[in-house]
């Protein structure tokens, strides 16, 4: 049994493979997904026509009403939430989606295997319903509609097909290693559909205004804003990553991006020489006409889009206030857990919800048995331990700590959760991805966890 969400049904319809899939497999969905499809079908565009084709075949899909609480987060919408509930209620084998950014959370919230449309195509090849060349052509069509270009050759296509090649038969469809699928598809697929693009100058101006970049000019060693790139460039596709390093720069170029947006950039208090490591990072930017935009403390300090805000969302904190004073600004956030955490529950929540890669979450367990008031300052935030103590919080959540924090926390009677520098700082760039995607630009998130 397979449950499919709106993105998967529209993608497979765009690839002219929907009817074959429905003939071959037992497909279910929710009433809310059907309503989303009916709404999308009202538009006279590629996705509107694809959605209409799905609704015309609805008698071949089992549609269910869903009741009770439905999971909804910054990455999972109500349609996907109803599909999670449906998977769990029906003990479905697979949940099929093409919402790549939601994959990690979907995988955590259901026991069903989470698959994307290229995996469906691979399954149909294995079942003899499609030839490999037909599946290749239909995957190409799905990808072209996803990025809004009918004639653009993409590295994403090749990466998707390589991912398909690594799959193996299981339970009648195809199963892949979850970590591998998430990593590959986050690089391989763009999130946006039919994007128009904009001038780099306009995009930079919008980001600078939203992030108040100029307000941090005297507070941050990072050269925030546009670090590399010609202002008159046309931007159709933006890649997002935590770190501006050779691996993410190369991946952004492979993905066909025109701009890479990162939290950690190349210039910290200036660049004296472009040699060795700096040359290895700057050269591919120039060679591939790839611009680089960086937001360090401005992104940390944003009370809605920032990293601390993202971690606070994970912990479901309420009554939030700015935290982490740095001159006139604050680069963190604190709040209240409506249902207080036990120390091990806080650690486990962070370990489950954050992409720690090969690392883990360490808790310096020196505070009270009930953790209600929590301060968050991502990355390397233990310098604000004194402020956390003065604010009367029970725990400080950050990424990594200095050696002295152990005894300082112990003597102050406060918990300190060290959840990983990288893991605590993925939220901001992904929030910017959502923002920029709403401006009519294609986007890709490059997930390169360090475990640190």
Per-residue tokens: 264: 């950690």
3-state secondary structure of 67: coil
Specify the range with the lowest mean pLDDT, choosing from 66-70, 198-202, 390-394.
Answer: 66-70
Mean pLDDT, residues 166-186 taken together = 34
3-state secondary structure of 356: coil
Give me the residues paired with residue 228 across strands. 292
State the Cα angle at 241 between 238 and 243, rounded to 5°. Answer: 135
Per-residue tokens: 335: 């709040």
Residue 152 pLDDT? 35
- Kindly tell me the sign of the dihedral angle through the C-alpha atoms of 135, 174, 101, 66: positive
Per-residue tokens: 297: 């403390």
Residue 260 pLDDT? 97
**CB-based contacts of 378, cutoff 8 Å, min separation 6:** 300, 307, 308, 311, 332, 398, 399, 421, 424, 425, 427
Q: How many residues does the chain have?
A: 452
Q: How far lies 316's CA from each of 312, 313, 340, 349, 391, in Å?
A: 6, 5, 11, 11, 19
The full set of domains in the chain, from first to last, is: 2-188 (3.40.50.1010), 198-295+426-445 (3.40.1390.30), 304-421 (3.40.1390.30)
Distance of CA 255 to the CA centre of its chain: 16
Residue 157 pLDDT? 39
pTM for this prediction: 0.60
**Is residue 357 predicted with pLDDT exceeding 50?**
yes
pLDDT tens figures, 290-332: 999 999 999 999 999 999 999 999 999 999 999 999 999 999 9
* CB distance 366 to 415 below 8 Å: yes
Per-residue tokens: 110: 């259901």
CA–CA separation, 31 and 154 (whole Å): 35
What is the 8-class DSSP label of residue 342?
Answer: P
């Amino acid at each position: 049994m397979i449950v499919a969400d709106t993105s998967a049904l529209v993608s497979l319809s765009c690839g002219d493979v929907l009817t074959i899939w429905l003939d071959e497999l037992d497909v279910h969905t929710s009433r809310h997904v059907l309503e989303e499809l009916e709404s999308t079908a009202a538009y006279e565009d590629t996705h509107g026509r694809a959605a209409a084709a799905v609704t015309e075949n609805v008698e071949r899909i089992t549609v269910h009403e869903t009741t009770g609480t439905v999971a909804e987060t910054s990455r999972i919408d109500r349609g996907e939430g109803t599909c999670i509930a449906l998977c769990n209620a029906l003990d479905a084998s697979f949940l099929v989606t093409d919402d790549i950014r939601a994959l990690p959370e979907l995988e955590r919230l259901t026991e069903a295997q989470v698959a994307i449309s290229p995996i469906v195509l691979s399954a149909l090849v294995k079942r003899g319903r499609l030839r490999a060349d037909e599946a290749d052509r239909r995957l190409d069509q799905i990808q072209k509609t996803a990025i809004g270009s009918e004639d653009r050759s993409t590295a994403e296509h090749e990466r998707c097909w390589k991912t398909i090649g690594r799959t193996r038969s299981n339970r009648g469809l195809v199963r892949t290693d979850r970590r591998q699928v998430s990593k590959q598809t986050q690089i391989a697929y763009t999130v946006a559909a039919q994007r128009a693009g904009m001038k780099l100058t306009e995009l930079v101006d919008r980001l600078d205004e939203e992030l108040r970049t100029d307000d941090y000019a005297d507070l941050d060693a990072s050269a925030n804003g546009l670090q590399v790139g010609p202002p008159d460039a046309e931007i159709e596709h933006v890649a997002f990553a935590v770190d501006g390093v050779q691996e993410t720069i190369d991946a952004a170029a492979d993905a066909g991006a025109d701009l890479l947006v990162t939290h950690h950039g190349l210039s910290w208090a200036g660049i004296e020489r472009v040699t060795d490591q700096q040359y290895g990072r700057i050269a591919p930017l120039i060679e591939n006409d790839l611009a680089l935009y960086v937001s360090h403390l401005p992104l940390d300090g944003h009370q809605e889009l920032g990293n601390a805000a993202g971690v606070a969302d994970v912990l479901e904190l309420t009554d939030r206030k700015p935290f982490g004073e740095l001159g006139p600004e604050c680069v963190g956030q604190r709040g209240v857990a409506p249902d207080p955490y036990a120390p091990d529950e806080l650690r486990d929540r962070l370990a489950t919800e954050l992409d720690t890669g090969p690392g883990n979450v360490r808790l310096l367990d020196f505070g009270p048995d009930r953790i209600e008031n929590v301060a968050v300052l991502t990355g390397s935030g233990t310098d604000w331990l004194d402020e956390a103590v003065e604010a009367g919080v029970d725990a400080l959540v950050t990424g990594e700590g200095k050696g002295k924090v152990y005894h300082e926390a112990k003597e102050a009677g406060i918990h300190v959760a060290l959840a990983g520098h990288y893991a605590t700082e993925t939220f901001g760039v992904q929030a910017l991805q959502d923002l920029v995607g709403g401006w009519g630009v294609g986007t890709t998130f490059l997930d390169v966890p360090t475990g640190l």
